[in-house]
Structure 1
Amino acid sequence: MHELIGNLLVQLRALWRWRWLAVAVAWGISIVAWLVVMFLPNVYESSARIYVDTRTALKPVLQGIAVEQDVDSQLNLVRQALLSRPNLEKVARATDLDVSVGNAADMDKLVQSLRDQVMIKLQQRDANSTGGANATDSLYTISYRHPVREKSLAVVRNLVASFVDDTIGGKRTDSDTAQRFLREQIRDYEQRLSESEGRLADFKKRNVGLIPGEKGDFFSRQATEMEALQRAQSELTLAINRRAELARQLRSSRPYTPGTSAGAGGLNGVGPTDLSLRVQETEAKLEDLLLKYTDKHPEVISLRDTLKALKAREAKELADIRSGGSGSGAIRSLSSNPVYQNIQLQLNQADVDIASLRGAVNQHTAEVASLRKIVDTAPEVEQELSRLNRDYGVTKAQYQALVERLEKAKVSEDAEQTGVVRFEVIDPPSADVNPVAPNRFLLTLAGLLAGLLGGLGTAFVASQMAPTFANAVSLENATGLPVIAAVGSYAPKSTTTAEASDRRKLAIAVAALAVVCLLVTLIGGTGAGLVQRILS
């Protein structure tokens, strides 16, 4: 620690030898720095604040019936558009900033300078804090700095006007563009819809009878017809069996039953009732033979002759009875059998049912045969019909959606005329009479500090270039030789007085530097403006 302090004292003594050089350098650097500060141009800042409120009374009313306007995105786009090259060039021409522009390179520099110096800040606040719903209000601050106060005001004024006009005009332009696009799309889809309807109608005309209707598609129709055919065949089989059973019962029943008194017919042997039974039995035998043999078979021919003779005899006896012949007493002794008559009625109904069922079977058989003929064509027709219906449905849905969007766009345009967004310039463009830059106070102090550091640095470099030995220890360390003895210095009174005078002059020089720094600080922008006016 003692050695460190000793080395520090040695360095201070070395710097002290070059004190006047340090003061001179400090004065020089400070004066140059202060002159630079004095020549720095004043910079004035102009700013304006715009309040944008998207929470108007129309917004909840228009929900669902108008196109939602993304106002925040629109405002951000306008914010970017304000700093675009065309807009900045327009602002430069409107404010005469392009007076000194001589070529395209100068214009590029001017536009870049405007883009760097124009500041647009957004402060967004949630509308829920003020009772709104799903909306925000925004506060835009537009500021610009320029050496001429009037120029800064003019630039901000033009930017504010562009901000409001471009936002409203941009919405109107977007609405017109959207409606024009929707109308073009609607015309296109109208043509597509008409063409699709024409193709569908032509296809149905070409494929009459193959188009699936309420009964379903081809395979469902085929399955339905097959099922109906099987059901009709089953019912026909049951009806035929029922008729056969009724015929058997009818053959075993008598059409007449005996009365209370005996008749003469019973005396003659075979009466009408016996003949009727024999006729029925013969008919039954004939039907059985026809199931086994053809019409030319001898037994069939013989049985038919017998049946013919029995029917002729029965007819003759019935005629005699009706004319009051010998057989009239028999009819009076007979009465109709109700069981026979009931079976006869059921048999007649069974014949009707069988005829109806055979017609149904024939109809279903023909329908199944017809469907089998088109088994290769119908699926292709149905597939093509499904494709046409699908295309028509998609086109129609798109057309209806476009019409709805167009109506919403029209309502939105009307709403824009009323005002969905409210703009309010709460702080018009203004600029303080005092410049905001440069900060001459800090720059003056920085110049003084730079001068002092420069002086000390110069003195240090000089001491290193021309070193001296302040004591015996430093000499011994530098040479590596032992120091035997050291002789002290003796200063006469005149030398002491001269050194005191030198120190006073040094103090005065340093104090003068501080006073000049204070004056420069106090004069500030006034002196700088005066210097600039004198130079101009």
Structure 2
Amino acid sequence: MNQSAAWGAPEEGRSVFDAVPVLSKEFKRRSVLLAGLFAGIALLGLVLGMMLPKKYTSSTIILVEDRNIIAPLMEGRAVATSVVDRASILREVAFSRRVMEEILKTGGWLQDNPTPLEQDKLIEKIIDRTSISNPRANLIEIAYSDSDATRAYEITRRFAELVIQESLATKERESSEAYAFIDSQVNQYHAKLTAAENGLEAFRQSTPDARPGTDVDVNARIGELRRIIEGARMELIDLRSQESALQSQLSGESEITLVQTRAGQFRARLAELQSERDRLLLQYTDQHPDVVRLQHQIRDVEQDLRREESAPRTAGTALDGPAAFNPLYGELRSKLAEARRRSAATAARIASAEQMLASEMARSNRIASSESTLAELTRDYEVNRDLYQDLLKRRENARVSMNLDAEQRGLSFRIQEPAQMPLRPSGLRVMHVAGAGLALALLIPLGLLFALTKLDPRVRSPLQIEREAGLPVLGTMPAYLTGRRRRAALRRYSLAASLFLAVPLLYGLTYTLKVMEVL
């Protein structure tokens, strides 16, 4: 057992190198098959590379310019379309029906008069082969791939022209539509403003109290009438008190008086002065000069009356005279009549002022009831006026924007890098497919050969016996090849070599023809 282990250990460490002779023997035995498999796979890759359709790609870059001398000058007055907006809708513009019809005409697809269904299929293929991207914020790249280099160039160039044309037309159409919309809104709000003005004017004409400032005048008038009424009532109270005083004085006097003595004359004079003083006291105070003067006269008459009454009476001192009206009584009656007249006039003035106050109060109530309607009409008018003025400004801004777009002064498109004629096909080429086929042609036969040696249970080397049986092999006897077998083996090796060398010859010939542009 120890000897077996000693023999097996080094064999296991050299198992990889020991497989090389076995592989070499199997390769020689199946050389024609492996060489044929190699040649078949390599030539199949070459044929597939030659049959692979060529793909030519042409691209162009469009620069979107949104900064020019007009932009800062027209800031706040004109609205320019932003780059982001243009880039986001560029794909829809490029793949619109109008643009795709021009592309079909440019590519020559319409010469065969395809049906609408065939046109839709062609358009789908063109869209699949077209790429639109934004390398930077203001750059737009359009790339188109086709099997024909000339058609790829023509379609890419036409794509750029149509995209710029349609974008500018779309931008101009948007500005025109915006102006038309704002103009229609201006006309509508002008009609609304006119209707609001007419409604407000008709309401003011039908309701005179609804005019501006009327409520202020009415309130001032009501305050003035209230002051007049209060003053007239105070005056009426004074006149009523005067009337009562005169009435009491008149009741103490007789209508007819007879002056018989000198004392009687003094008494009549005294009564007259007292009546005059009472009349003045109704208007003035005791310190008034006229009142003071009458006080002195009354004292003088009283002194004369006392002297006359204290003097001895004699026969014949009596003064006989006719009867006469009492002048004080007449004066009191005239003053009483005047006081009553003034009282009646004041009362009438109070009644008239109260009527006018009631009328003004009713007018104030009408104004208050019409204020809500007037406020609503005024509010509608002011709102329509503000919106109309704002829309007028916006319409002028839209007009300027429309003129800028019509003259292409705002956002503009310029071809930064024009389309070029593709000289080489893009994507997988013949050399790529042929190289992959050549690599597979080498790997597949070697893999099959290695799998055969690993999976075949037959004993193929002395080392395999030592490793599996654990016994040493003393010697081996090589196979004897007769002349016929050697000649058969030589023919087999020659055929395998011919198949193997045919591959590089065909690859070299193909490369030469490609360089000479024959293929």
Give the Cα–Cα distance (whole angstroms) in 2 for the partners of residues 11 and 396 of structure 1. Answer: 102
- The alignment status of 1:30 with 2:50, answered yes or no, reads no
> What amino acid does structure 1 have at the position aligned with 2:141?
T
- Maintained 8 Å contact 1:444/1:517: no
- Equivalent residue number for residue 145 of structure 1: 145
Work out which of the residue numbers 337, 356, 359 in structure 2 matches 1:363.
356
- Maintained 8 Å contact 1:85/1:111: no
1:430 Cα shift? 1.4
Give the Cα–Cα distance (whole angstroms) in 2 for the partners of residues 279 and 2 of structure 1. Answer: 171
Question: In structure 2, the residue corresponding to 1:155 is in which secondary structure?
Answer: helix
Q: Residue 436 and residue 94 in structure 1: after superposition, are their counterparts in 2 closer, same or farther (change >3 A)?
A: same
Give the Cα–Cα distance (whole angstroms) in 2 for the partners of residues 35 and 274 of structure 1. Answer: 162
- Equivalent residue number for residue 373 of structure 2: 384
- Equivalent residue number for residue 266 of structure 2: 269
Question: In structure 2, the residue corresponding to 1:190 is in which secondary structure?
Answer: helix
> What amino acid does structure 2 have at the position aligned with 1:154?
E
- Equivalent residue number for residue 491 of structure 1: 478
Deviation digits for residues 5-28 of structure 1 (CA, Å, limit 9, x no counterpart): 556457666655256344432221
Give the Cα–Cα distance (whole angstroms) in 2 for the partners of residues 440 and 67 of structure 1. Answer: 54
Q: Residue 7 and residue 441 in structure 1: after superposition, are their counterparts in 2 closer, same or farther (change >3 A)?
A: same
Deviation digits for residues 70-108 of structure 1 (CA, Å, limit 9, x no counterpart): 354235423431123442232112220344674445433
- Equivalent residue number for residue 96 of structure 2: 84
Instruction: Map 1:82-481 to 2 at 5 A.
Output: 82-99=94-111, 102-124=114-136, 138-209=138-209, 211=210, 213-214=212-213, 268-270=265-267, 272=269, 274-278=271-275, 281=278, 309=326, 311-312=328-329, 363-371=356-364, 374=366, 378-379=368-369, 381-416=370-405, 417=407, 419-463=409-453, 466-470=456-460
> For structure 1, which segment, 513-522 or 116-125, has the greater mean C-alpha deviation from structure 2 after superposition?
513-522
- Maintained 8 Å contact 1:47/1:142: yes
Give the Cα–Cα distance (whole angstroms) in 2 for the partners of residues 61 and 232 of structure 1. Answer: 68
- Maintained 8 Å contact 2:46/2:434: yes
1:310 Cα shift? 5.4
> What amino acid does structure 2 have at the position aligned with 1:427?
E
> What amino acid does structure 1 have at the position aligned with 2:73?
V
Question: Structure 2 length as normaliser, TM-score?
Answer: 0.67
Work out which of the residue numbers 44, 57, 67 in structure 2 matches 1:45.
57
Give the Cα–Cα distance (whole angstroms) in 1 for the partners of residues 22 and 236 of structure 2. Answer: 145
- Equivalent residue number for residue 81 of structure 2: 69
Give the Cα–Cα distance (whole angstroms) in 2 for the partners of residues 2 and 409 of structure 1. Answer: 95
- Maintained 8 Å contact 1:34/1:444: yes
1:234 Cα shift? 5.7
> What amino acid does structure 2 have at the position aligned with 1:196?
A
Deviation digits for residues 1-55 of structure 1 (CA, Å, limit 9, x no counterpart): 9787556457666655256344432221111011111222333232333333221
Question: In structure 2, the residue corresponding to 1:530 is in which secondary structure?
Answer: coil
5+ residue gaps in structure 2?
1-8, 247-261, 283-324, 333-341
Q: Residue 242 and residue 414 in structure 1: after superposition, are their counterparts in 2 closer, same or farther (change >3 A)?
A: farther
Q: Residue 369 and residue 107 in structure 1: after superposition, are their counterparts in 2 closer, same or farther (change >3 A)?
A: closer
> What amino acid does structure 1 have at the position aligned with 2:361?
V
Give the Cα–Cα distance (whole angstroms) in 1 for the partners of residues 388 and 378 of structure 2. Answer: 15
Give the Cα–Cα distance (whole angstroms) in 2 for the partners of residues 402 and 56 of structure 1. Answer: 28
Give the Cα–Cα distance (whole angstroms) in 2 for the partners of residues 444 and 490 of structure 1. Answer: 45
Q: Residue 84 and residue 505 in structure 1: after superposition, are their counterparts in 2 closer, same or farther (change >3 A)?
A: farther
Q: Residue 352 and residue 229 in structure 1: after superposition, are their counterparts in 2 closer, same or farther (change >3 A)?
A: same
Give the Cα–Cα distance (whole angstroms) in 2 for the partners of residues 213 and 500 of structure 1. Answer: 128
- Maintained 8 Å contact 2:60/2:415: yes
| Two-structure CA RMSD over aligned residues (Å) | 5.0
Q: Residue 5 and residue 198 in structure 1: after superposition, are their counterparts in 2 closer, same or farther (change >3 A)?
A: farther
- Maintained 8 Å contact 2:39/2:500: no
Q: Residue 68 and residue 422 in structure 1: after superposition, are their counterparts in 2 closer, same or farther (change >3 A)?
A: closer
Deviation digits for residues 478-505 of structure 1 (CA, Å, limit 9, x no counterpart): 8xxx55564642337969x979989987
Q: Residue 382 and residue 36 in structure 1: after superposition, are their counterparts in 2 closer, same or farther (change >3 A)?
A: same
Question: In structure 2, the residue corresponding to 1:412 is in which secondary structure?
Answer: helix
Q: Residue 84 and residue 26 in structure 1: after superposition, are their counterparts in 2 closer, same or farther (change >3 A)?
A: farther
- Maintained 8 Å contact 1:24/1:455: no
> For structure 1, which segment, 144-153 or 381-390, has the greater mean C-alpha deviation from structure 2 after superposition?
381-390
Question: In structure 1, the residue corresponding to 2:419 is in which secondary structure?
Answer: strand
1:275 Cα shift? 1.5
Question: In structure 2, the residue corresponding to 1:65 is in which secondary structure?
Answer: coil
Give the Cα–Cα distance (whole angstroms) in 1 for the partners of residues 352 and 11 of structure 2. Answer: 136
5+ residue gaps in structure 1?
126-137, 251-264, 286-307, 316-348, 532-536
Give the Cα–Cα distance (whole angstroms) in 1 for the partners of residues 459 and 219 of structure 2. Answer: 125
Question: In structure 2, the residue corresponding to 1:420 is in which secondary structure?
Answer: coil
- Equivalent residue number for residue 296 of structure 1: none
Question: Structure 1 length as normaliser, TM-score?
Answer: 0.65
Q: Residue 64 and residue 248 in structure 1: after superposition, are their counterparts in 2 closer, same or farther (change >3 A)?
A: farther
Aligned length: 440
Q: Residue 68 and residue 433 in structure 1: after superposition, are their counterparts in 2 closer, same or farther (change >3 A)?
A: closer
Question: In structure 1, the residue corresponding to 2:267 is in which secondary structure?
Answer: coil
1:248 Cα shift? 12
